[in-house]
Amino acid sequence: MIVLMSNEPTAVGRSPQSGTEEARAGARVAQAARLAAVGELAASVAHELNNTLGTVSLRLETVIDRTPGGDARRAALDVIAGEVERMTDLVANLLDHSRPGRGRPSTVDVCDEVTKVVELTDHHLTRSGVVVTATFADGVPLIQADRQQLRQVLLNLITNAADAMPAGGRLDLRVLSAVLAGGRPAVAIEVADTGAGIPEDVLPRVTEAFFTTKDEDKGTGLGLAVCQQIVDQHGGQLKIMSLLGKGTAVLITLPVSPSTFAD
């Protein structure tokens, strides 16, 4: 079990850490403003993207209907259809993230979601020479979360890990019970890679909107920013640990609602 300690002062009054907490709060406000700008941009292009994806989906449906189930090409068409559906969901999710409080929470089995996302990204990971190991602790509780938002977080983290290992490597995924500050039960998700790692001076900025360490044609600087926003909206914590040349580990801890934890 992982226990995350609170950074909040334990005594009344201003502690030596208060200034740091205020600075972090200010940074979060600025981050929210940047993401709001992203939301305006997303709203302006979502209509065009959805029209294009809708056209592709309809044409693809026609091709699939005309392709017998035993045809070798059918499997490839099904994969394309699944990716079109995923992109449609991502466009909708981007709009959701730009408007806080519009999530659709439901009871979620985190272990099951991790398994599904690994299956979805299996082709990409295999092609990149990445070996995946997933470990699930016994008795991990269910949580209340927006399923699509959680999947987007997992997709972002796994894709980032693969990008950090262009020559191949190992990706370790762990899900286990945890405890947030104040003793609140939670579920922890760890995504650890053996990639290039992140320089220490850059690490504090990786969740800022539009900040990226990737080449211009490979990253928008929104992936981790959106992950941070989603985790914040769920009342959780996101922590990134990295050693240059050794790899990066992302730990996400999401609270368990009392009613779900009792199930």
The CATH number given to whatever domain includes residue 255 is 3.30.565.10
pLDDT band with cut points at 50, 70 and 90 for residue 152: confident
Spacing of C-alpha 175 from chain mean position: 14
The whole-model pTM stands at 0.63
Same domain, 235 and 117: yes
Q: Which two tokens stand for residue 76?
A: 């490839």
Same domain, 80 and 165: no
pLDDT at 195 over 80: yes
What is the average per-residue pLDDT within 212-222?
53
Return the sign of the alpha-carbon dihedral for residues 233, 239, 242, 247.
negative
Note whether residue 84 is domain-resident.
yes
pLDDT band with cut points at 50, 70 and 90 for residue 5: very low
What is the average per-residue pLDDT within 16-28?
60
Question: What is the three-state SS of 162-218?
Answer: HHCCCCCEEEEEEEEEEECHHHCEEEEEEEEECCCCCCCCCHHHCCCCCCCCCCCCC
Reduce the DSSP state of residue 255 to 3 states and report it.
strand
CATH number for the domain spanning 75: value is 1.10.287.130
Same domain, 189 and 164: yes
Note whether residue 2 is domain-resident.
no
pLDDT confidence of residue 178: 95
* 91 contacts 50 by C-beta, under 8 angstroms: yes
Same domain, 125 and 81: no
pLDDT tens per residue, range 36-68: 566 666 655 665 676 678 778 878 888 998 998
Question: What is the C-alpha separation between 79 and 72, in angstroms, rounded?
Answer: 12
Same domain, 216 and 141: yes
* 180 contacts 237 by C-beta, under 8 angstroms: yes
pLDDT at 133 over 60: yes
pLDDT confidence of residue 3: 44
Reduce the DSSP state of residue 90 to 3 states and report it.
helix
229 or 253, greater pLDDT = 253
Question: What is the C-alpha separation between 183 and 56, in angstroms, rounded?
Answer: 49
What is the average per-residue pLDDT within 148-161?
89
Same domain, 155 and 91: no
Same domain, 163 and 234: yes
What amino acid occupies position 130?
V
* Domain end position, chosen among 97, 114, 149: 97
Question: What is the C-alpha separation between 226 and 94, in angstroms, rounded?
Answer: 8
pLDDT at 129 over 60: yes
CB proximity list for 119: less than 8 A, separation 6 or greater: none
Domain range for 227 is: 105-261
Same domain, 120 and 234: yes
Same domain, 90 and 116: no
* Domain end position, chosen among 65, 97, 129: 97
What is the average per-residue pLDDT within 165-187?
93
Same domain, 76 and 185: no
Query: How many domains in the chain?
Result: 2
Same domain, 127 and 66: no
